[in-house]
Amino acid sequence: MQETIKLDLVAEEYKQSIKNVSKRIIICAGTGCMANGAEKVYNAFVNQIANAGLNVITELKKENHNHGIYLSESGCQGFCQMGPLVTIEPEGLLYVKVKPEDVKEIVESTLKEHKTIERLLYSVPGTDVHCKGTDEIPFYTRQSRFVLKNCGVVDPEDINEYVALGGYKAAEKAITKMTDKEVCDEILKAGLRGRGGGGFPSGRKWDLTRIQPKGKKYIICNGDEGDPGAFMDRSVMEGNPHSVIEGMMIAARAIGADEGYVYVRAEYPLAVKRIRKAVNDAEKAGILGDNIFNSSESFKINVMEGAGAFVCGEETALMSSIEGKRGMPTPKPPFPAQSGLYGKPTVINNVETLATVPLIINMGADEFRKIGKEKSPGTKTFALTGHVANTGLIEVPFGTTLGEIVNNIGGGITNDEGKLLDTGFKAVQIGGPSGGCLTEEHLDLPLDFDSLISIGAMVGSGGLVVMNKQTCMVKIARYFMQFTQNESCGKCVLCREGTKQMLALLDDIIEGRATVETLTLLEQLALAVKKGSLCGLGKTAPNPVLSTLKYFRKEYNEHVINKYCSTKSCKHLVAPEIDPAKCKGCTVCIKKCPVGAISGERKMAHKIDVSICIRCGECAKACKLNAITGV
């Protein structure tokens, strides 16, 4: 029998090993920064620090010989569009958009001469203000990083650092000092609600499973994050995987499970790699396995890659996938708490929910409830994308207003070229394909489970896509409908056929074939699909259509009645034209037009005969001045 490591001893050893480190350089190694070249920046630091005659440490040793500069990687630090991000401690400097060619200057100026490089600091848009660290950047200062607190700090592949920051203390407490009922009661008292979108009380879900007859039970971590633009769970698994494992251990204690699964999308290779390493390291340390913390409790975790089907985010479809079957939902009841994986009582929580659990056990339910709102305590992570100055991963207390997120954390609305606009906010799509649209009238709306449900939207997994006034809301509705139609498993008729027909009706609208009756039929069909579908995918698929019909009916009417798209996004509803201010009369478009619809003299602005034009787009492709629109 392998003995579990002594957490206090590991923490003390780590603190001793890092004590003699003169500086620490933390390079964001989340997926976004890695895609922008973070690995090359890391390698450049290794070479340049050595070339400068300084000692570089890439792995801390237990022996007290760590004299030099410690170079480590972290998970996502949140400010994705500013990556690669480099943090230098103890100064707290944050350099943004760092390239490999910048590294030599950082080593010479900052590490050796203790000088700050102004051009690599974050500059507040529209000002001359340069921010030295996260404590000066509005994107960070207006957040409350709770679950994400250590994601951009700890080395996600170093279990010792996690332990040194108090990791696995909550699991040890739950397993050695609390009964299963006490654990469930604490989570119930905390009011923790599922962060995957449904908002069901986690403690209640656990207790329903706990009271089932003793025997084989399972814990499943749902990391099958499939919403377009969502990357919250991925970032937690990449940046702090041990927090997820610890949450699963506590949940296992609560229900009496001895086995668990982490179900991760195969499209998340970095998350898969890091969660697997975390599981292996925890097993080697005796934290996972038999007789955990020298108790009678045992727990094993399996990591499984999903095949990429959006519907597998639904819990019954997910369990079918783990069992080796096609990922398709099954009717409820029975609920997973009664008969789940392989017919055994099962608890399924998403990544963010489980990562919150150790924090609750450590701080206590009463302290946790002081964060957020009474019926939605705690924080929520969001993936903020679209037409905002600051895109990235954020975390705020429940009850934070939409306006605070868009205008202050997000830094305001931008045009398609990324330039700030004084006005221009149109809508936010929240919750991905399952959510709905929030408009200007909702900027003061507190974002929490109940407030969003009251207006026909939902938190969902946490995607926030911000749109400016040049966005066509009909095309947005069509985009999400196409996604859900493609992802429908096809099991029930209303979802399989209904989403297909809704997509066809939206195509009629944006291509100029629709009538007023089309809108009536679209709304009726959306309500039928919502009511009659078997699982959450079908029941929420019409939400983007219903919410845009509710808040942007005028835009739909323009498309249908006036055959006009005011944003000029739907080319079938915009008359082809050549901008006389841009056209220089080069005649290239005349030569490319296959039907002779364009006329004009050389060096004079040309014109398009809309009665002849077939909208093939050849003229626009040939025009180097971008003078042609509507084709």
Q: Cβ distance 420 to 125 under 8 Å?
A: yes
Express each pLDDT in 27-80 by its tens digit. 999 998 999 999 999 999 999 999 999 888 888 876 656 688 999 999 999 999
Is 205 a residue whose pLDDT tops 60?
yes
Express each pLDDT in 387-402 by its tens digit. 999 999 999 999 999 9
Tokens of 408: 């202050």
Give me the residue spans of the domains in the chain: 7-136, 159-368, 379-471, 474-560, 575-629
- Among 3-7, 135-139, 221-225, the minimum mean pLDDT is found in 3-7
Q: Cβ distance 357 to 170 under 8 Å?
A: yes
Report the 10 Å Cβ neighbour count for 446: 18
Is 159-368 CATH 3.40.50.11540?
yes
Per CATH, the homologous superfamily of domain 7-136 is Glutaredoxin (3.40.30.10)
What would the mean pLDDT of 423-438 be, rounded to a whole number? 87
- Taking Cα atoms as reference points, which of 81, 5, 1, 20 lies closest to residue 242? 5
Express each pLDDT in 365-422 by its tens digit. 999 999 999 999 999 999 999 999 999 999 999 999 999 999 999 999 998 877 888 7
The confidence score (pLDDT) of residue 13 equals 87
Handedness of CA 243, 457, 547, 471 (dihedral sign): negative
Fold of the domain built from segment(s) 575-629: Alpha-Beta Plaits (3.30.70)
The confidence score (pLDDT) of residue 276 equals 97
Express each pLDDT in 529-575 by its tens digit. 999 988 888 888 899 999 999 999 999 999 999 888 888 888 888 88
Is 2 a residue whose pLDDT tops 70?
no
User: What's the angle, vertex CA 198, arms to CA 379 and CA 446, rounded to 5?
Assistant: 45
Q: Whats the size of the chain, residue-wise?
A: 631
Tokens of 182: 């006490």
Is 224 a residue whose pLDDT tops 60?
yes
Burial class (CB in 10 A: 0-12, 13-18, 19+), 215: exposed
Tokens of 562: 């006036």
Alpha-carbon dihedral angle through residues 287, 291, 295, 296, given to the nearest 10 degrees: 140
Does 159-368 match 379-471 in CATH topology? no
- Taking Cα atoms as reference points, which of 45, 40, 65 lies closest to residue 56? 45
Q: Which CATH architecture has domain 474-560?
A: Up-down Bundle (1.20)
The 3-class SS string of 582-602 reads: CCCCCCHHHHHCCCCCEECCC
Using CA atoms, how far apart are residues 303 and 273, in angstroms rounded to an integer? 10
The confidence score (pLDDT) of residue 458 equals 82
- Taking Cα atoms as reference points, which of 515, 611, 600 lies closest to residue 559? 515
Q: Cβ distance 220 to 312 under 8 Å?
A: no
The mean predicted confidence, pLDDT, of the chain is: 91
The confidence score (pLDDT) of residue 427 equals 94
Strands 86-89 and 21-28 come out as: antiparallel
The confidence score (pLDDT) of residue 18 equals 86
Express each pLDDT in 160-184 by its tens digit. 999 999 999 999 999 999 999 999 9
- Taking Cα atoms as reference points, which of 509, 544, 418 lies closest to residue 470? 418
Using CA atoms, how far apart are residues 38 and 27, in angstroms rounded to an integer? 7
Is residue 289 helix, strand or coil? strand
Is 379-471 CATH 3.40.50.300?
no
